[in-house]
Homo-oligomer: A and B are copies of this chain.
Amino acid sequence: MTVEIISIGDELLIGQTVNTNAAWIGSQLSLLGGEVEYCTVIRDEEDVIFNSFELAMSRVDVVMVTGGLGPTKDDITKHVLCKFFDSKLVQNEEVLEHVKSFFEKRDREMLDINILQSHVPDKATALFNEFGTAPGMWFDKDGKVLVSMPGIPYEMKAIMLNEVISRLQNKFEINGLYYQTLQTQGMGESYIADRIVDLETEMKDNGISLAYLPSSGGVRLRLSSNKSDRMLQVIESYLLSLEAIFPEYVFGRGQISLPDVVGQLLTKQKKTVGTVESCTGGSVASALTSVAGSSAYFEGSIVSYSKEVKMDLVGVSEHTIIEHGLVSTEVVEEMAINGKKILNTDYCIALSGYAGPSSGLPEDLIGDVCIAIAGNERVLSKKFKFEKDRSRNIRRSVLTVLNLLRCELLKINIEKS
C-alpha cells in the first residue's frame, strides 16, 4: 500500500501553519505497514488541486487529502472532488442531523453556511466527524482510494482513527516496513556514529538500515528492515546493544517522551518530585505535568525568577548569592535542598542560568546553566554550557535535567560524562 499525502492550503506554503497533519498521518500509515512515498503541499486553487489528484492517483495506491473543507468561502476542495470523480453534491441526512446536534449541544446558533457542510458528493462515503461539522469523504476508483479530511488536527485524527484505518486494513493487504526507534538525549550525531562504526556496518550486512534523526531535543536512532519475525528479533538484539553502549544517553524507545519515562520511574519507585526554577521559568514543571496522572508524583514548584522570590520564598541565603553569583552550583544546591523541604518531596530539581539574549550581561555568560537535584541520599549539581538562543537554551535545560533525574532514579553513573 503506497501512499501520498496531499495537504491543501496557502497557509502551509507561506509557513503560517506547520504541517503537523502530514507527519501524524505518515506515522499512522507507516505503523499500519503503508509506505508513504510523497507528501505534497499545494495551493487552494482548482487546477492545482485537480492536477495533484491526478498525479497522485497515478503513482500511489492511497491518496490522503487534508484541508479546504471548512465552512468559509475560501475552501474549494469539495467542488474539485466532485469534478475529479464526476460526482454531484447531495444532502446527507445523517450528516445534517450531526451538524444540528453539534450546535445544539454547544448551545450555539447553527448558521446557513454550516448546513452546506452536510452536502456530500454522491460517489463518496461520508466519514463521521466526531469533533466538527465537515464530514470526511472516502472515494474508490480503479482499485485505488482517495480520502479527504478537514485540516483541523483533532477532527482529522478522530476521523482517521475511527473511520479510515479499519477501512484501509480491509481493502489492502499490508505488510510494510518494520522499524523501531531509540531516543537519545545529550550526544551529537557524529559522536554516536563514531562510537558505533563497526556495529553500524554489521547491521547493514544483516539487512537493517540505521538512520540518524537529529533535532533540537536530541538524536533519534531508527533501525528499520522488512517485516518478518526473524528481523523483529534481530532488530531487538541491536536495540539492546545500543542501550547497553549508551545507558546514560538512551532514554527510551518509540515515541515516548522524557517526561513520560521519568513519570513511569517515579510511579514505580513511589517517589515524588518538585522543582525550583529560575531560567526555565516553569518549563520543567510544565513538562512533568504534561503527562496524564502526574499528580501521583508531582507535588508542585516554585518559579523563583526574581532574586527576591529566591531569597524570601525559597530561602536562598544572600551570602551564597553574593559569594558565588546567581548562576552557580552553590545557589542551585540551596534551591534544591530548600525546595525539597518546602514542597515535601523525595526529589527536588533546581535550575538557574542565563537564558539569553544578552541584556547588559557579558555575551559569553549566555548559555551557562547550573542544575541541581536533591534526593534522599545525595545532592547532585553540575554546570553546563548550552546555546545562545533563548528557546533552545530552555529546551535543552529541561531535557538535560529530566535525563539527569532519570539517571539518578536508575542509579546510572553519569560522573564520567
Contact = CB atoms under 8 A, between A and B. Distances in A.
Interface of A: 10-20, 22-28, 30, 36-43, 48, 70-74, 108, 111, 113-114, 152-154, 177, 179, 181, 189-191, 193-194, 200, 204, 209-216, 220, 222, 275, 277, 280-286, 288-290, 292-295, 298-306, 308-309, 313, 342-344, 356-357, 359, 389-392, 394
Nearest to A44: B211
A234 B391 CA distance: 36
Nearest to A19: B19
B41 A13 contact: no
Nearest to A45: B37
Nearest to A296: B359
Contacts of A72: 189-190, 193, 212
Contact of A18 (B19, B41, B154, B357): B19
B300 A306 contact: yes
Q: Specify how many copies of this chain sit in the oligomer.
A: 2
Nearest to A103: B190
Contacts of A37: 13, 42-43, 48
A206 to B, nearest CB: 15
A23 to B, nearest CB: 4
11 contacts: A13-B39, A16-B222, A19-B22, A74-B211, A154-B389, A286-B286, A289-B305, A292-B356, A295-B306, A300-B303, A300-B309
B292 A281 contact: no
B16 A18 contact: no
B20 A18 contact: yes
A213 B26 contact: no
A277 B39 CA distance: 41
Given A190-B111, A290-B394, A389-B154, A222 B11 contact: yes
A396 to B, nearest CB: 12
Contacts of A26: 12-15
A22 B222 CA distance: 22
Contacts of A14: 26-27, 30, 36, 177, 179
Given A72-B193, A286-B282, A302 B305 contact: no
A32 to B, nearest CB: 11
A281 B294 contact: yes
**Top-7 shortest CB links A-B:** A281-B289, A15-B27, A282-B285, A282-B282, A15-B26, A300-B309, A301-B303
B281 A215 contact: no
Given A72-B193, A113-B193, A301-B301, 14 more contacts: A11-B211, A13-B30, A17-B23, A19-B39, A38-B40, A70-B189, A72-B189, A74-B211, A74-B212, A154-B216, A275-B303, A281-B289, A285-B303, A313-B343
Given A26-B14, A190-B114, A213-B16, A292 B38 contact: no
A89 to B, nearest CB: 19
Given A72-B189, A289-B282, A344 B308 contact: yes
Nearest to A293: B359
